[in-house]
Structure 1
Amino acid sequence: MAPIRVALVAGEASGDILGAGLIQALKQRHGDVEVIGVGGPLMEAEGLQSIFPMERLSVMGLVEVLGRLPELLKRRRHLLRDLIAAKPDVFIGIDAPDFNLDLELKLRRAGIKTVHYVSPSVWAWRQKRVLKIREACDLMLTLFPFEAKFYDEYQVPVRFVGHPLADAIPLQADRRAAREALDLPLEGPVVALMPGSRGGEVSRLGAVFFDAAERLRNLRPGIQFVLPCANPQRREQIEQMLASRDLPLKLLDGKSHLALAACDAVLIASGTATLEALLYKRPMIVAYRVAPLTFKILSRMVKSPYISLPNLLAERLLVPELIQDAATPEALAQLLAPLVEGGDEQTLGFDQIHRTLRCDASAQAAEAVLELIGRN
C-alpha cells in the first residue's frame, strides 16, 4: 500500500491518549503511516515528531488564554504554513476546538481533508458554532451517540466511534481487589468523595461534601470515605479544609479509578469524572456550584436539559443533579444514603450505556479516517 501522511494536533493529555490510540490503529490497518504535527509523549512514542511541545497549547481559563494569545496565534500561523507545505493526506484536530477549528478551516480551504476528533459542547451552548464546524471539517468523530444525532440534524458528516475509556474499563470492576490495593476495609460501606480537580471547584464544593459526609455518617454508622486528590496542590487544599474535622476519610494521590472500583457510591462534581463513575457502575449524586454571576449567564445560554454526562447519555434523569443553592449538605446526604446499598436502577442504566460506548474507539476512528481519504 502507498504510504500515507497524517497530521495531528492534540492540546492536552486526554488528546495525547486519543491521538496515540488512533496512530496505533492507523498503523495496524494501513502499515505505512507517517505522522506529523503536535502531540505529547504518548503520540511521540508512536512515531510523531512534535513540531513544538504540546504543553504550549495546554491553557485553561479566559485570563490565561488572553495572556498567551499572541504566542498561540503565532504558533498557529507557523503550523498552518508548515502543514500546507507538508501536504498531508489528512489533518486530524484532536479536541482543543478553539485552536484546531480555525486551523482545520484554513487547511480545508487549502485542499487538505480535515477531521475533528471529540466534539465541542455545541449541543449544550453556542450552538451556532456548528455552522463553522460544518465549514471546517470533512468529518466529525464523536465519543457519544447523542452528539452524532446533533450533527446529523445540521448535515455535518459525522461518525460515532465510542469512548476509549469504555474500552479500557472492564464491564465488571473487582471491588475487593481495589479495596485491598488501597488498604480499605473489605466489609462495610465506602463512599468516594470527588469534589473536582480544580481549586475553584474544591473551594466551592469541598466543605459542602464534607458536611454531607458527616451527616451521612450519622445516618449510616461505620461508613468510610475515600477521596482521590488530582494533584499535590489539591491535596494540600483539601488537608487544610479537613484540619478541624474528624472524618473517617482516606486521601489518595490520584488513583481515582481505584477509588471508584473500591467504593459503593459516589458524591461527585459534574464533569468528566462522572463518566468514569458510570463506567465503574457506581451509583452517584452529582453536584455543582459556580460563581453566582457565572451561573446567571450560563443558565441563559445552556440549552441542554441536563448537566451531567450520565443523564445526557441516558437521555433522562438517571442520576440526581443538585446545582448551585440546591447542593446543600442535607439534600446530598439524604439522597446518597439509600444509594450506598442500593442504586440498582442507576447501575443497570450505567451497564447499558457502557456497552453502547464500548466500540473499540481507536479502531472505529482509524477506519473512518481511512474511508475519508479512500485508503480503507
Structure 2
Amino acid sequence: MKLFVIAGEASGDKLGGALMEGLAKLAPGIEWQGIGGPEMAAQGLDSRIAMEELSVMGLMEVVPKYRHLKRRIAETAQAVVEMRPDALITIDSPDFCLRVARLAREQHPDLKVVHYVAPSVWAWRPGRAAKMAQVVDHVLAVLPFEPPYMQAAGMSCDFVGHPVVAEQRASAAEAAAFRETHMIGPDQPLALCLPGSRAGEVKRLGKRFDEALMQLRDREPGLRVVLPTVRGVAPMVREMSARWPIAPIVVEQPADKRAAFAAANVALAASGTVSLELAANRVPMVIAYDASFLTWHLIWNLMMKVDTVTLVNLVSDTRAIPEFLGPDCKPRAISRKLLQVLEQDDARAEQFAAMELTMERLGEGGDPPGLRAARSVLEFLQKT
C-alpha cells in the first residue's frame, strides 16, 4: 500500500505520527511519502520539505510568502500525482492541504482523499463542509457530534477519538514533587493562568487574567499561580508576568506543565482545546476570552451558531463550565466565579461530572485515537 500524508503544523504532526503508528500495526509495509515533522519522521516519513515552512504561514504571513506557498502547493500536488498513492491523507491545515488535494485531483480524478480533523462547521461558517466535500471523500473527526455534519455534506466520516485522551499525564507523586519544588504547601491553593498560546491572545488577556487572580488572592491570601506557556510566546509571557504585583511561576517544559496541571486546584483559561486538557486532568476551570470589537461582532453576533465556546460544555451537553466572553470578560466578575469554583463543593462537583462525561465521550479508556483513525482509513479504502 502507498499513502501520501501531509501535516502542516505541530499538532497535525502529532496526529499523523499516531495514525502512521496505528497503520503500521494493522497493515505493515506501507510506503510513505509526504510532509511532516519529527513525530511522523519517527514512523518512517522522509518529509519532502521542512514542515516549519508551512506552520509559520498563518494569516498574517500569507501575503508576503504567497508565491512561495503557492509553489509548495503545486510541487506537493505533483508529487502526489507521480506517486499515485492508494490515498492522500491530509491532516488539519486546510488552507494548504485542501489546495494540494484539489490540484492533485485535477490530474488524478480517482484519487481518494482522507482528511483528519473536521472543520468546526457546527460553530460557524457551515459552508466549509460543502466546499471540502468537493475534494475530500472521508473525514476522521475528533469530536463525537461532528460526523452528521460531514455526512450531510456528502463525505463519509468516523469519530476516531480526541488526541487528548492519549496524552501523558503526571502522577500524584509528580504533582506533589512540583509543589515541593516550588514551595507550595499540600493544602495551599494553586491556580493555573492560561491566557492563550498566541501573542495577540496573551496581550489581550494577560492583564485581565492577572487582575482577576489578584482579586482572588485578596480572598485567598495563600494562593499561588502557575503560568504554563509555549515556546512561541514564552519570552513575552516572562516579560509581561515579571511586572505583575506577584509574579507567577512560569513553566515551559512539557513535564513541568503536566505536573502543574496535576497539582492545580483551579484554572483561568482562554477558550480553546485547553479546556479539554484541563478536563483530562480534572481541573475545575473558568473560561474567558475577548477579541477586537469588529472580530467579536462579526463572529459572535453574526456567524456563531452555538451558545457556548467551551468544548467541555459542548461535548458533555451541559453548561457546567462558566464563561466570560467579549464584553463580559471583566476581572471582577471572573474573580468572583473563580472563588466560587475554588470553594463551593457543588460548583466543583458539577464540573467534575461534566469532565467525566466529556472524557468518556472523547474515547478515554478505549483504543488510542491513532489506532482508531488507522482502522477507519483501512475500512474506508476497503469499501471504495
Instruction: Please state which band the TM-score falls in when normalised by the shorter chain.
Output: over 0.9
Question: What residue number does 1:265 align with?
Answer: 266
Deviation larger for 240-249 or 302-311: 240-249
Question: What residue number does 1:69 align with?
Answer: 66
- Shift of residue 368 of structure 1? 1.1
The answer (yes or no) to whether the contact 1:169–1:279 under 8 Å persists in 2 is: no
Question: What residue number does 1:30 align with?
Answer: 27
Question: What residue number does 1:281 align with?
Answer: 282
Per the alignment, do residues 105 and 215 of structure 1 end up closer, same or farther by CA in structure 2, a change over 3 Å counting?
Answer: same
In structure 1, distance between residues paired with 2:208 and 2:173: 29
- Shift of residue 14 of structure 1? 0.7
Question: What residue number does 1:225 align with?
Answer: 225
User: Helix, strand or coil: the match of 1:346?
Assistant: helix
Question: What residue number does 1:95 align with?
Answer: 92
Question: What residue number does 1:335 align with?
Answer: 337
Deviation larger for 366-375 or 197-206: 366-375
- Name stretches of at least 5 consecutive residues in structure 2 with no aligned partner: none
User: Helix, strand or coil: the match of 1:140?
Assistant: strand
Aligned AA (1:356)? R
* Matches for 1:49-128 after TM superposition, within 5 Å: 49-108=46-105, 110=108, 111-128=110-127
Aligned AA (1:136)? V
In structure 2, distance between residues paired with 1:242 and 1:26: 44
The answer (yes or no) to whether the contact 2:121–2:128 under 8 Å persists in 1 is: yes
Deviation larger for 327-336 or 313-322: 313-322
Q: Does 1:353 align with 2:353?
A: no
- Shift of residue 243 of structure 1? 4.1
The answer (yes or no) to whether the contact 1:193–1:227 under 8 Å persists in 2 is: yes
Residue number among 306, 319, 336 corresponding to 1:317 in the alignment: 319
TM-score by length of 1: 0.93
Aligned AA (1:351)? E
Aligned AA (1:96)? S
- Shift of residue 52 of structure 1? 1.1
Q: Does 1:370 align with 2:371?
A: no
TM-score by length of 2: 0.91
In structure 2, distance between residues paired with 1:181 and 1:123: 39
Q: Does 1:237 align with 2:239?
A: no
In structure 2, distance between residues paired with 1:188 and 1:147: 41
- Shift of residue 223 of structure 1? 1.4
Question: What residue number does 1:306 align with?
Answer: 308
User: Deviation per CA, 1:4-34, whole angstroms, max 9, x where unpaired?
Assistant: 1111000011111111111111111111111
Question: What residue number does 1:14 align with?
Answer: 11
Question: What residue number does 1:292 align with?
Answer: 293
Per the alignment, do residues 177 and 89 of structure 1 end up closer, same or farther by CA in structure 2, a change over 3 Å counting?
Answer: same
Question: What residue number does 2:178 align with?
Answer: 181
User: Helix, strand or coil: the match of 2:4?
Assistant: strand
Deviation larger for 247-256 or 186-195: 247-256
How many residues align? The count is: 370
- Shift of residue 213 of structure 1? 0.9
In structure 2, distance between residues paired with 1:175 and 1:215: 29
Per the alignment, do residues 262 and 151 of structure 1 end up closer, same or farther by CA in structure 2, a change over 3 Å counting?
Answer: same
Aligned AA (1:347)? F
Per the alignment, do residues 367 and 108 of structure 1 end up closer, same or farther by CA in structure 2, a change over 3 Å counting?
Answer: farther
Question: What residue number does 1:137 align with?
Answer: 136
In structure 2, distance between residues paired with 1:242 and 1:99: 35
User: Helix, strand or coil: the match of 1:31?
Assistant: coil
The answer (yes or no) to whether the contact 2:139–2:155 under 8 Å persists in 1 is: yes
In structure 1, distance between residues paired with 2:328 and 2:57: 28
Aligned AA (1:307)? V
In structure 2, distance between residues paired with 1:347 and 1:106: 47
Identity %: 34
Per the alignment, do residues 238 and 85 of structure 1 end up closer, same or farther by CA in structure 2, a change over 3 Å counting?
Answer: closer
- Shift of residue 237 of structure 1? 2.5
User: Deviation per CA, 1:198-257, whole angstroms, max 9, x where unpaired?
Assistant: 1211111111111111110111221111111222x6343334334444326312124432
Q: Does 1:193 align with 2:198?
A: no
User: Helix, strand or coil: the match of 1:137?
Assistant: coil
